[in-house]
Amino acid sequence: MILVTGGAGFIGGNFVLGWLSNANAEEVINLDSLTYAGNLETLASLQNDDRHIFVKGSIGDAELVTRLLNQYQPRAILHFAAESHVDRSIHGPADFIQTNIVGTFNLLECARNYWSNLAPEKKQAFRFLHVSTDEVYGTLESKEPAFKETNPYEPNSPYAASKAASDHLVRAWFHTYGLPVITTNCSNNYGPYQFPEKLIPLVIHHALHNKELPIYGDGQQVRDWLFVEDHCLAIQRVLEKGRLGETYNIGGWNEKANIDVVKTICAMLDSIQPKGNGKSYAEQITFVKDRPGHDRRYAIDASKIEKELAWKPLETFESGIRKTIEWYLTHQQWVSGVTSGSYRDWVSKQYSAHGK
């Protein structure tokens, strides 16, 4: 079996659902502390599936993690759990330090103790796969080449710095203790079950509720978008075939300026679910004050994973964004479940700080 951390969140949830969609899949222990970003509704279809064991708890709880490892004897840990939203890291970085750095340290130590006592064959097969982000590499000028695995780390936000620190810990546990780790650094994900604080689900949600679509600064910041299921398939491939101690950049060669992403969503909504008054959703676009320290451009050079592990994304941006919009339109109950009081408090705090 495998141990997944953060499997009630966006990417971890998609990973668990994708993994268990295979009838022959190994069991999953899913350790998630259910912060605001974790949601059991995402895993509702697994309620009667004995292959899914959900445990509510923190990666920072050494006793719990040790007990789970000894009891279930997983052959791999896939570490998704994190605080993941840049804007929240600007308002309050403490949770990012605690979960992303101290939490990862604790998980590494528990994994090391468990792994070092395994029988030789199991010890050799064991993997610790650390899921990270392209934001650790900092920002690119418009003409600079995309991030390679060899780029220096230059994180600019508290979120990116905390993920960079966790990547360094993972690296050190490989070089110092021989723990069999692999790290993946992926670009911006989008798709089903993403919490509507991130750009794409926020814009879909606000569009449908006749609210402003807030664009930070001039909207010309570039992100490299990857459909979440493609990310999950890449992680499976890295788990099967990745080389120990290596890092793999994952991305879809899909650079888009934020304003273009938002206009694409508006145009698709105009055709799939037109507004009654004949107006376009694009009229809701509002430029607001920029994010402090806003990285201008991210872009992933995915040639290493493509060449070494023969992974390529299956979705284009156009097919992935259509699937995403259709998913949000047909899963409004999931959306209402996560856009409760505390979500509304966040939106009002965040967007009053950004003003116009």
Q: What's the CA angle centered on 178, arms 174 and 181, to 5 degrees?
A: 45
**Which of these ranges, 31-39, 110-118, 121-129, 211-219, lies near ligand TYD under the rule CB under 6 A?**
211-219
Q: Using the rule CB under 6 A, is 103 a contact of ligand NAD? A: yes
Written as one letter, the residue type at 99 is T
Q: Spell out the alpha helix ranges (H) of the chain.
A: 10-20, 62-72, 86-91, 94-96, 104-116, 120-125, 158-177, 199-208, 228-241, 258-272, 303-309, 317-330, 332-338, 341-354
CB of 188 to ligand NAD, least distance (A): 4
With respect to ligand NAD, which residue has the nearer C-beta, 61 or 326? 61
Asked about 159 being catalytic, the answer comes back as yes
Asked about 63 being catalytic, the answer comes back as no
Among 2, 3, 4, 12, binds ligand NAD (CB under 6 A): 12
Q: Closest by alpha carbon to 230, among 8, 30, 79, 11? A: 11
Among 104, 139, 156, 189, binds ligand NAD (CB under 6 A): 189
Site for ligand TYD in 69-88 (CB under 6 A): 86
Asked about 134 being catalytic, the answer comes back as yes
Site for ligand TYD in 163-192 (CB under 6 A): 188
CB 195 within 8 A of CB 201: yes
CA dihedral 152, 309, 299, 162 (to 10 degrees): -50
Residues paired with residue 297 on neighbouring β-strands, in sequence order: 222
- Of the candidates 114, 137, 159, 351, the residue annotated as catalytic is 159
Q: Using the rule CB under 6 A, is 223 a contact of ligand TYD? A: yes
Q: Using the rule CB under 6 A, is 258 a contact of ligand TYD? A: yes
Q: Using the rule CB under 6 A, is 161 a contact of ligand NAD? A: no
- Of the candidates 135, 197, 230, 295, the residue annotated as catalytic is 135
With respect to ligand TYD, which residue has the nearer C-beta, 132 or 188? 188
CB 236 within 8 A of CB 176: no
Among 198, 231, 256, 263, binds ligand TYD (CB under 6 A): 198
State in Å, rounded, how far the first CA of the chain is from the last one.
Answer: 50
Query: CA-CA distance, 60 to 75, in Å (whole number)?
Result: 20
Q: Which residues are identified as catalytic?
A: 134-135, 159
Residues that bind ligand NAD (CB under 6 A): 5-6, 8-12, 31-35, 37-38, 58-60, 80-82, 84, 99, 103, 131-133, 163, 186, 188-189, 195
